[in-house]
Amino acid sequence: MKRPVGALLSLLAVTIAFVLPSLSARAAEPIKIGFYGPLTGPLAVACLPAKRAVELAVKQVNEKGGVLGRPIEVIYADTKFDNNESIRIVNRFIRSDKVAAVLGDFTSTGTMATLSITQRANIPHMDYNANSTAITNSGYNHIFRLVVNSHQLYSGLASYAQKKLGVKRVAIMGWDDDFGRANVDAFTKYQKTSKAFEIVALEWYNVNTKEFKGLLSKVLAQKPDSIILTGAIGDSALIVKQARELGYQGMFLGDGGQSILPFRNIAGPSADGTVVATQYVPHYYKNPLAVAFDKQWAEMKYESDPWSSHAYDAFMLLLDAVQRAGTTDGPKVIAALRATKDWQGVTGTTNFYPDGDVEKPVFMQKWVDGKLTPLEPVQAPFRN
């Protein structure tokens, strides 16, 4: 029996009403990415700018229609500076949230604790801050980082200290975790190779140390002409301040953790003269993405810093790789990241070594009258 045309049209309309929303929902299913780091605690002052930069990137990308026709959703998680929490978070990202990739951890120890988890899931692991050489020496092929590693950073610092600053007697304040030990290892490796200066003292301290005068008294008894800072923001600033209070008049040399205003705010005028090796100089690059980021960041009333810029680039490069791969399939995105060639971002031109390390120079800067002044870029003597 033939059905009336009107009935058939009604049935078709009902079918379309049910099917199209389902298809649309699937088409608009967000691409999920997990971001994790110490959003509270002593490192929050550096990790929160990284989070804000990713939030800005998400807004910009979604306003332009997302990637592969899908919106981007980032799931943020606070590790509380606890490796066990990092492990729980990344397991949740993969098992429950079904993320396509992760950004993190902020710390080297947190990253090392979670690499095997993301490797088993076969998804890209992008790091925006951790710089221990152990990360890219792990043998995993899914890890990429946007910052130069500790050996690049501290061998560049050591080379500059020898050739441009003429240091002869060096003391090292060693932050006792993976990050600090890697920094100390790089500096001492350069010294052993070059024989250009003498390391007269090496004192290790716990990450939560606030009182340094006992250790510093031992260090200053060796009459160093320079003290190497290998830790984070607050501890390094306290070392500088307390050493000056003890009468030390020599140089301080450090890295990116001593390159932002919170370091100067804690150390006060004692910070002036500190030379730091950094991964990035604000406003140095003038490509379209860098100019747009600098403009928007300034409009948001934020100070430029290495953490926001590298997190922004890590996120944008990851999405660029998804676009080039044409899919969120982990192995294909990893292959696209590995094939990255001369990608232009806020932190300059990005290419990767086969192990996932980035090819970039080290920038030397100096605190002068409360402001960080660029000196020059240098090529690191080694990276492993």
DSSP string across 87-109: HHHHHHIIIII--SEEE--SSHH
pLDDT greater than 70 at residue 306:
yes
CA–chain centroid gap for 15, Å, is 50
pLDDT tens-place string over residues 279-289: 888 888 999 98
Confidence band of 375 (pLDDT split at 50, 70, 90)? very high
**Which one-letter DSSP state was computed for residue 352?**
B
Q: What is the pLDDT of residue 25?
A: 37
190 versus 305: which is more confidently predicted?
A: 190
Confidence band of 378 (pLDDT split at 50, 70, 90)? very high
CB 79 within 8 A of CB 130: no
Q: Which segment of 14-23, 100-109, 297-306, 358-367 scores lowest on mean pLDDT?
A: 14-23
Quote the tokens at residue 264. 């100067």
CB 215 within 8 A of CB 173: yes
Q: What is the pLDDT of residue 17?
A: 44
Distance CA 71, CA 73 (A): 7
pLDDT tens-place string over residues 26-71: 458 999 999 999 999 988 988 999 999 999 999 999 999 999 999 9
Q: What is the pLDDT of residue 4?
A: 53
Q: What is the pLDDT of residue 283?
A: 86
CB 261 within 8 A of CB 288: no
Distance CA 172, CA 189 (A): 13
Sequence-distant (6+) residues with CB within 8 A of 235 are 175, 205, 207, 209, 210, 212
Q: For each of the domains in the chain, give its residue range(s) and CATH number, in order of start.
A: 27-148+284-352 (3.40.50.2300), 151-278+363-378 (3.40.50.2300)
Q: What is the pLDDT of residue 6?
A: 52
Task: Name the strand (E) or helix (H) holding 236.
Answer: helix 233-245
Q: What percent of the chain has pLDDT over 70?
A: 93
CA–chain centroid gap for 221, Å, is 36
Confidence band of 182 (pLDDT split at 50, 70, 90)? confident
Mean pLDDT, range 16-30, rounded to an integer: 53
Q: What is the pLDDT of residue 208?
A: 86
Q: What is the mean pLDDT of the chain?
A: 91
pLDDT greater than 60 at residue 2:
no
Q: What is the dihedral of CA 240, 242, 246, 252, to 10 degrees?
A: -10
pLDDT tens-place string over residues 333-348: 999 999 999 999 999 9
pLDDT tens-place string over residues 133-166: 999 999 999 999 999 998 999 999 999 999 999 9
Distance CA 373, CA 295 (A): 20
